[in-house]
A and B are shown apart, each in its own frame.
Chain A
Amino acid sequence: MTRNARALAFAMTLACLAIAATGLQMARDRAYAPGPTDNQLLYVSSGRMIEKIALSYDAILADAYWIRALQHYGREHLKTEGVKTYDLLYPLLDLTTTLDPQFVIAYRFGAPFLAESRPNGAGRSDLAIALLKKGIGRTPDKWDYYHDIGFIYYWHLHDYRQAAEWFKRGGDRPGAPWWLKTYAAVMLARGGDRQASRFMWQQLTQSESAWLRETSHRRLTQLDALDQIDELQRVSEGFTARAGRNARSWNELVTAGLLRGVPLDPTGTPYLLDAATGDVGLGRGSSLSPLPTEPAAAPEMAASAPPPVLR
């Protein structure tokens, strides 16, 4: 047998064996289906222990846990059946940041994932703040973490005094941008108004993170939709006052000369008019849904705050 013939025979034998092994595996899986993979398994829960075991490879392990955290969030976020649970999100982020305490993006991405209300996030502002405080413990001069905590107090917890306090502390850090201190002032003066929200989200459109930029653009669009809903609500209420009943459809308001056409939200989906109550809301299938729960002015601030500027 020549050298080439031997090589060919070797290659063919190898190919046959590979095909046979694949076929056998497929047949076995059909006959004895493997059990479902448990994606919720954490393997190790102690960051300190895994840090020791990792020897000098802790940073690369942190990367692996970071990718797992992203996959966990993505899998739950895209889930169409069952309850979206983000139970492993905090433990995975905690492990990531224990193994690599300077992994900035794990704190700054992880905290919004945790704080975002369900079903888009874990709805755990407390854990988001804990994660960011852990970051501050490691790098006390990182103003971004103070900013993010302030933002969680503002947007998710509606605690403007705490928000102002954290923005102020962030503004005192070396290298902090000038506008962080103005955040604190805005919080104390007009914590609950939509202009304040718009101002803060507009600052975030300049973020270096593409995800935060996208999120802030979406939030700004949602705020536009809230403005439009308020305007349409006034039109609907005006019709009710004049006609003594609610409008049955947008067309009725168009015919009455109150609107020029069926109103569309910024994504092009028609708004919904509830004929029974006269309430206006987002149309079914609008990608802006659910609209954020708007921060409301805290009672003790409402008294001292200037009147809200809504458009």
Chain B
Amino acid sequence: MSAIRHIAVNVFRESVRDKVPYNLVLFALMLMGVSYLLGQLSAGQEIKIIKDLGLAAMSLFGSFIAVFIGIGLVSKEVERRSIYALLAKPISRRQLVMGKYLGLVLTLLVNIAVMTVAFYTVLGVMAWMDGSWFRPHWGASALDPALLKAIAMIGLQLMIVTAVALLFSTFSSPMLAAGLTFGLYIIGHFNADLKNFEAVVDSRPIAYLARAMYYLLPNLAPLDVKAQVVHGVHVPAGLLLFNTAYALVYIAALLVVATFIFARRDFK
């Protein structure tokens, strides 16, 4: 456990050295700039648009960090040949994979936490300047705590994407891993179509295959509750619990496969 923690902390430090926190500055500047411009452009919808933009930016920035750092977690060690020094230490390959994963998840969670503070600050300032914390056509108050539900779901999505990137990082080159991860990320938003494939094709085997792919591939769309919380639509606790359980089980499966592949990899 101690080895995993050490590796995770090192991954976090490395991401700080790699200037990953710079994206936080970009996020804050973008929100402030946009909030200034929106007053002129959006016909009273600035709070809604800042909420949409803030949540979308958290998801987008996080996805880029998850993919571009995730794909190098293992392959970079192999490229630099530092993997030999690491494996010579009393660390199992399973611990290495887990430590790398948790380190990047820690980076992402810190990133999201700081973004959340900046997000609520900008919303608070906007509502204060506007003089109203809630207007009927906003659907929800400016500082609606339900936004945290969407942020938590973004966190879970990013944890899945990180696990996917790490899995590909254990056996392929960074470029290929990036392509595959982005591919799965996109499919993750489309795969509800696979569930109802029998409505499109007549062939039963293909319909069954599509149904199997639906359950096999990551399903990210249900974790997207951004639009609901922005409009003040109730997101049931049951859905959040199911989403959390699904994400944790899916991540566990991906890490098991990543560990399995990495344990059998020959670095000679």
Contacts and interface: CB of A to CB of B under 8 A. Distances in A.
Interface stretch (A2-10, A102-110, A146-154): A102-110
A59 B43 contact: no
B137 A211 contact: no
A57 interface: yes
A300 interface: no
A56 interface: yes
Contacts of A267: none
Contacts of B59: 56-57
A243 B85 CA distance: 114
Contacts of B226: 56, 59
Given A102-B227, A102-B231, A108-B137, A210 B53 contact: no
Contacts of B45: 63, 66, 105
B233 interface: yes
A63 B189 contact: no
Contact of A60 (B42, B56, B137): B56
Interface residues of A, number: 23
B160 to A, nearest CB: 13
A63 B190 contact: no
Contact of B137 (A56, A58, A105): A105
B155 to A, nearest CB: 14
Nearest to B57: A60
A107 B158 CA distance: 34
B114 interface: no
A67 B231 contact: no
B29 interface: no
Given A57-B56, A102-B227, A63 B139 contact: no
20 contacts: A52-B190, A56-B224, A57-B56, A57-B60, A59-B230, A60-B56, A63-B49, A63-B53, A66-B42, A67-B41, A70-B41, A102-B227, A102-B233, A104-B137, A104-B139, A108-B137, A208-B135, A208-B137, A210-B44, A211-B43
Interface of A: 52, 55-60, 62-63, 66-67, 70-71, 100, 102, 104-105, 108-109, 208-211
Interface of B: 41-45, 48-49, 52-53, 55-56, 59-60, 135-137, 139, 186, 189-190, 220-221, 224, 226-227, 230-231, 233
